[in-house]
Structure 1
């Protein structure tokens, strides 16, 4: 078999044997993974394609063996550097791989996010997992299939045209002769890089992609059997807690360790490292009790570092930089030529990820390597931050992704892992488990930035927009862990503190600040500020605030010019896919006629102006006496191009809508001059079951188009759709969120 790229394969198995203290497996459920026996397909029907570049993560890691390996039993193990957050990426990858390899779904195993084992795919963020990871797997699987066919033809001494693929076997047509993938490789693995010239399975022949394949883990989740990071157990497990101060600038003035030891029980070690104060105990309850005693026997400074809550918008403007024109620097804004001019200012407060389960991290130092278990959304970047924080070589840190509470964005999962890492280095040999309290999580998580979006526009004599100006006041929208140790909260409080060196990703603040409409003179300016509260990535970044402002403003402009709200939008669109989602929502609403005190509002967004399309309508009822708002129904139409799994896409759309409903109607981080006061579910109210409206989702499937992620696309239009409906129901325009503040 000379001339083919194959190699001995024991590295991954040996790595798992030597490094893995714990394996987290999602079982295969009979009857949940297959839609039937895959059809045999004549190989000449494969589609020969030349790609300009490899998709997504494959550009950084083009080797076939980085993405898959054939197991001894003939099944295929797929490797992805993405994290399962409840978005169903494991299932989507399984569908894509099974189709391209002509296997059953239960012949595909998917391993996610482990350093040294899976590709480095950075963060699971920005609705990028489908186009970056799933499409990388599709190409790698196609390349593997082609190599396997060549090897099988040589081994069976037949031409490729005589071969057929079915259920992870390659057969000779009209014959009983066949080889499994394992038989072909004989214990070795495929090598080489994925080429740009590739034969792909025709989409018309897909057995799994495009079908609502149930997730294999759903039954266990519903029955409470799923093992999350909080459930990890081991014979050498110990428990730990870290005492958090009052605010970001608090300092530990005094700690009476003698008095603490006299009252505590089961304490194995107390760790003080600068302003970091933690405790390790034998049992979990002892850790809970010990951290209370730490607070009792310590004294912290409590400086006043926050502005007055009601003065936050003014404070933001006072600390912002000079405007940076980020779009349309050469645009001509002819204000004098406009027949109608309009201006408005919109405000969004700080909002939380508000994960229902608090953060957890585990770490164990074996004297050579630090092993870390985390529900971080970026295990490789976090590893870099940990290495810098601990002054360790990055190759001496091994990070394993473990499922945690669902939250979209940069949460304190990384910080919990950093806490565990510091404590594990101080107490080697044991697996140290750190769990955060609800109070600590609410006070210390990196929030979604407060934002101000101010708009100015004019209409010409024909009722079309003649100029547009957006001004956005925004903090950073990503300070995720990376090569800057200070992105990990823990690093900032050690004896040798490592403050954050940069501002993170500022561009997320003006995301979607330039409307996706045809406007001749358009300009967007960003006013960046370094705000009083810790911030980072939260689902959709600045798009939520900007689309809330833009789509509310579009309704105002339509009304001022006497035009129908949807027709006004359609007059300013040329992209047929954008037009189609808006028309689809109008069709979904149909002949629904609002009653007295009710209103229907609309909104549209193309996420990032180059990703998925979503149009939305909301129906609300406003009590004229109390101004109480009842959200009755949401309609949404979404277009992500090729749909991998319509059920997952629908679930993601519904979940995004529900999260954004909370930001629109209820959620706001509250604070005094010295500390965050939104520290529980009473002071930071998220939607309850009774707050959820009926939601209808229509998917526009375009299998001929590139696949895009849908996890964030439905978030931005929600606030504008609801607030436009409120205006139509009661005549009150909403400029400040949340509505029920």
Structure 2
């Protein structure tokens, strides 16, 4: 194999938006397979057969080897994943995994992501599952394919398989004979289920896994090339813009179409119930016509929104389901001190930098949709239901979008594009939301309330812990047509599927609500609301951001009450050795405890293991506070991460750093503005996010690599610990405990002035 710095040839996988690869093979499992288990990945129910439950990662649900790897007779290797690239660099990391076990340079592999006409169905790209599930599947599938090819070559040569060497799609014998992967695949049938065991390489021999390769998606993004669905241009493409209702539940009464159809470039107005759109030959013409169409429309008023002053109190009456997710009762020393606290999180929006966009084309009874949805298969199924079309007549091809991290408008705008394209057969139709639509019709992350009570004994140990949270759904992913916003506006509207809680150990609003610390007496309760004052769904880390913020803030309060250093207090209550390793490493790299203290500055520490299943993260931060304004800035941070076997060190560092920055923005600054009539955060001035001048001076990420250990998802792992560390640093800087997010701003200034 070539050196790692020689193995990326970007020209082989430059993204082409004007075409698509059709691969003729079946993804169907053997007919005797029986569905006995369901994996729920943030809303996409995926069945696992009894016959495949012992397989690795997503091989459980997609066991056929040729669903993942295809080799043509001329030796070309194509690798598939059902996951998608969201700007995390995971496409490069998955390519590395496959290349490692195929013993090939990545530049020799064509790598394709989620496409309902080609790739395996892996549900959603969400919950930091991609490397853990798809990466594990590719690791084992590639190893098994390599093993089958080598065994076939050994039979051809009449030599032991262990005497052969596979390298860059060529199998070499000791006597100089060779056979290509293309010729060897003719001797073996890859249309077979994977095995429970794989001839995996010794991690000590890895040449690609564990190296930081150039990301395959970056060149066009930094040079202004075609990178996103927003950039797509197809021959004869038309542009459409949507007129959205002025409020939730508003219905269209009448519209003066004649005043708009006379405008330059207007091709057609599409109306179905309260769904209203205009189609034009040019994008700016569509924008001008959309504004005119909006001005010439009359709507019947919709429903009122909750009062932001009372919405957190109302959550306790709306939450009709009580779910006890943890209970433990052991005899301990008597309590000497008890503390209580309540924490508040407000609604947030995704704030996708690029407004949601999709392109669709309807030809000869077949619909093709290019979409930045995180789940092309669930979207395909919902579009087919909405349009009364067979699923095999709808194809959804993932195309990167500018901004995501959760359930934003990607699926909804794809439904808009599909509906308009079906009304205009033969024409590619591009639909992009306006900025105010992206903000005001977002699927917000829910407001939350958490309450915690805990007691200490005379030695400073926690002897009991009671934690409760109130939240509506963090997961309204697309499971039926009614979950698509446009489908609810049609003349014959579709009803959304009922809201249901996500169960542990993944959890939704209660994600990471169970502390990893040793707590002899513990009760954790999730109060779930199936009704939602505002439309909500998934955003990066779901409830983990708020729960770890609450838990780690309160652990700090307990440490101060006990008179024990916060890091030492955490170690006193932690038995998991890998958790202890990241706590100790972050503290060491940060120089905890800081001796040289500066007025107006504070330090804080926090820990979390994402979902108690994925990557371990400990973080120490230093902040500055301007008391006169309440402005808070994260100055620097040291983060220790254990994600098991590391595929791409730079990839994990980038994800952790990005998570720290995004969580800092949520925790310090962000809050959805609304009143009882409508959403008021319609642009970047009414929904401020972190600006460049507030970005930390440094976020140093320290990785603990564990070769051979399972991959642990890290993309969302820093969100909660960052929030907790910021809250604790704020107390250190001001001696004030702030328990309501966002932590900074006028509210903080008033607290400090008291």
Q: Same fold (TM over 0.5)?
A: yes
Comparing 106-115 and 221-230, the one that deviates more = 221-230
Q: Are 1:70 and 1:189, in contact at CA under 8 Å, matched by a contact in 2?
A: no
Kept in 2: contact 1:601–1:619 (CA 8 A) = yes
CA contact (8 A) 1:333 1:522 kept: no
What residue is the counterpart of 1:668 in the other structure?
Answer: 671
1:593-604 matches, cutoff 5 A: 593-604=596-607
What CA distance in whole angstroms lies between the structure 1 residues aligned with 2:632 and 2:569?
27
Query: Displacement, 1:72?
Result: 4.7
Task: State the shift of 1:21 in Å.
Answer: 5.9
The structure 2 residue matched to 1:485, chosen from 481, 488, 497, is 481
Aligned to 1:391: 388
Is 1:698 the counterpart of 2:702? The answer is yes
Q: Which residue of 1 is the match for residue 116 of structure 2? A: 115
- Counterparts of 1:337 and 1:561 in 2: how far apart (Å)? 15
What is the aligned partner in structure 2 of residue 44 from structure 1? Answer: none
Report the equivalent of 1:266.
265
Q: Residue 618 in 1 paired to residue 621 in 2?
A: yes
What displacement does 1:191 show?
A: 2.5
Tell me whether 1:503 sits opposite 2:499 in the alignment: yes
**How far did 1:71 drift?**
3.4
2:533 maps to 1:549: no
CA distance in 2, matches of 1:187, 1:395: 32
2:67 corresponds in structure 1 to: 66
Q: Which piece of structure 1 moves more, 625-634 or 100-109? A: 625-634
Task: Show CA shifts across 1:395-420 (max 9, x none).
Answer: 11011111111321111111110000
Distance in 1, matches of 2:88 and 2:488, equals 32
Q: TM-score under structure 1 normalisation?
A: 0.91
Corresponding residue SS for 2:310? helix
- Closer, same or farther: CA 624–297 of 1 in aligned 2, 3 Å: closer
CA distance in 2 between counterparts of 1:260 and 1:335 reads 75
2: CA distance, partners of 1:336 / 1:571:
16
Q: Displacement, 1:183?
A: 2.4
Mapped partners of 1:227, 1:568: distance in 2: 48
Matches within 5 A, 1:604-683: 604-683=607-686
Cα displacement (A) at 1:315: 2.5
User: Per the alignment, do residues 377 and 321 of structure 1 end up closer, same or farther by CA in structure 2, a change over 3 Å counting?
Assistant: same
Q: Distance in 2 between matches of 1:220 and 1:303?
A: 44
The alpha-carbon deviation at position 624 of structure 1 amounts to: 3.7
Structure 2 CA distance for aligned equivalents of residues 277 and 697 of structure 1: 48
The more displaced of 539-548 and 196-205 is 196-205
| 1:379 aligned residue (376, 380, 383) | 376
Q: Which position in structure 1 is the counterpart of 2:13?
A: none
Partner SS state of residue 678, structure 1: coil
Contact 1:333 1:468 in 2 (8 A): no
Cα distance in 1 between the residues matched to 2:127 and 2:321: 28
5+ residue gaps, structure 1: 1-19, 26-50
Question: Shift in Å at residue 187 of structure 1?
Answer: 10
1:362, distance to aligned residue in structure 2 (A): 1.1
Give SS of 1:428's match: coil
The secondary structure found in structure 1 opposite 2:101 is helix
Give the 5 Å matches for 1:299-318.
Answer: 299-303=298-302, 305-318=304-317
**RMSD (Å) for aligned C-alpha atoms:** 2.0
Output the CA distance in 2 between the equivalents of 1:22 and 1:486: 31
Change (3 A) 1:334 1:444: farther
Whole-Å separation in 2 of the counterparts to 1:410 and 1:251: 25
| Structure 2 gap ranges (5+) | 1-16, 23-51, 746-754
Alignment of 1:525-540 (within 5 A): 525-529=525-529, 530-540=531-541
- Matching of residue 360 in structure 1 with residue 363 in structure 2: no
State the shift of 1:24 in Å. Answer: 9.3
Task: Tell me how far 1:322 sits from its aligned partner.
Answer: 5.3
Q: Distance in 2 between matches of 1:286 and 1:625?
A: 48
1:125 and 2:129 matched:
no
Q: Does 1:732 align with 2:736?
A: yes
Q: Which residue of 2 aligns with 1:421?
A: 418
Q: Report the 3-state secondary structure (helix = DSSP H, G, I; strand = E; otherwise coil) of the residue aligned with 1:637.
A: strand
Distance 1:603 1:24 in 2: 47
How far, CA to CA, are the matches of 2:187 and 2:148 in structure 1?
A: 15
Instruction: Report SS of the residue matched to 1:271.
Output: strand
CA deviation after TM superposition for structure 1 residue 609, in Å: 1.2
Corresponding residue number in structure 1 for 2:54? 53
Q: 2:429 is matched with which residue? A: 432
Cα contact 1:52–1:196 (8 A) shared by 2: no
1:19-58 aligned at under 5 Å gives the runs 22-23=19-20, 53-58=54-59
Report deviation, 1:253. 1.8
Number of corresponding residues: 693
Tell me the equivalent position of 2:293.
Answer: 294
CA–CA separation in structure 2 for the residues paired with 1:598 and 1:333: 41
Partner of 1:34: none
Aligned-pair CA distance for 1:215: 1.1
Shift of 1:327: 1.9
Contact 1:594 1:600 in 2 (8 A): no
Aligned equivalents of 2:58 and 2:635: distance in 1?
41
- SS in structure 1 opposite 2:198? strand
Q: How far, CA to CA, are the matches of 2:539 and 2:637 in structure 1?
A: 22
Contact 1:335/1:458 (CA < 8 Å) preserved in 2?
A: no
In the alignment, the residues of structure 2 paired with residue 400 and residue 278 of structure 1 have an alpha-carbon distance, to the nearest angstrom, of 23
**Aligned in 2, Cα 1:504/1:222: closer, same or farther, shift over 3 Å?**
farther
Aligned position for 2:165: 164
Q: Are positions 1:710 and 2:710 aligned together? A: no
Contact 1:131/1:708, CA 8 A, preserved across alignment: yes
Partner of 2:7: none
**Retained in 2: the 8 A contact 1:24–1:402?**
no
Give the alignment of 1:6-25 within 5 angstroms. Answer: 22-23=19-20
Structure-2 separation of matches of 1:21 and 1:580:
49
What does the per-residue CA deviation read over 1:681-724, in whole Å, with 9 as the maximum and x for residues that have no partner? Answer: 10001111111102111011111321111100011111110111
Q: Contact 2:331/2:520 (CA < 8 Å) preserved in 1?
A: no
Q: Is the 8 A contact 1:305 1:532 kept in 2?
A: no
CA contact (8 A) 2:249 2:303 kept: no
* Structure 2 length-normalised TM: 0.89
Structure 1 residue 188 displacement after superposition: 8.4
Moved more, 428-437 or 100-109: 100-109
**CA separation in 1, counterparts of 2:312 and 2:493?**
31
Aligned equivalent of 1:33: none
Question: In the TM superposition, what is the alpha-carbon distance from 1:519 to its structure 2 partner?
Answer: 0.5
Q: Equivalences for 1:435-454 in 2 at 5 Å? A: 435-454=432-451
Q: Equivalent residue of 2:719, what SS?
A: coil
Q: 1:555-587: per-residue Cα shift (whole Å, max 9, x none)?
A: 101111111111111111100000111101110
Task: Choose which of 451, 462, 466 in structure 2 pairs with 1:465.
Answer: 462
CA distance in 2, matches of 1:229, 1:448: 25
Q: Distance in 2 between matches of 1:306 and 1:336?
A: 49
Q: Distance in 2 between matches of 1:188 and 1:422?
A: 45
> Structure 2 vs 1, CA of residues 300 and 497 (structure 1 numbering), >3 Å: closer, same or farther?
same
Classify 1:226/1:427 alpha carbon distance in 2 versus 1 (closer, same or farther; 3 Å). Answer: closer
Tell me if structure 1 keeps the 8 A contact 2:53–2:60. no
- Could you say what secondary structure the match of 2:422 adopts? helix
Q: How many Å apart are 1:388 and its aligned residue? A: 1.2
The 5 Å alignment of 1:506-585 reads: 506=502, 507-529=507-529, 530-585=531-586
SS in 2 for 1:509: coil
> Cα–Cα, structure 1 residues 187 and 380, in superposed 2: closer, same or farther, change >3 Å?
farther
Residue 220 of structure 1 deviates from its aligned partner by 2.3
Helix, strand or coil: the match of 2:508?
helix
Aligned to 1:14: none
CA distance in 1, matches of 2:239, 2:524: 50
Deviations 1:497-534 (A, max 9, x none): 11212104444001111111111111111122222211
Secondary structure at the counterpart of residue 548 of structure 1: helix
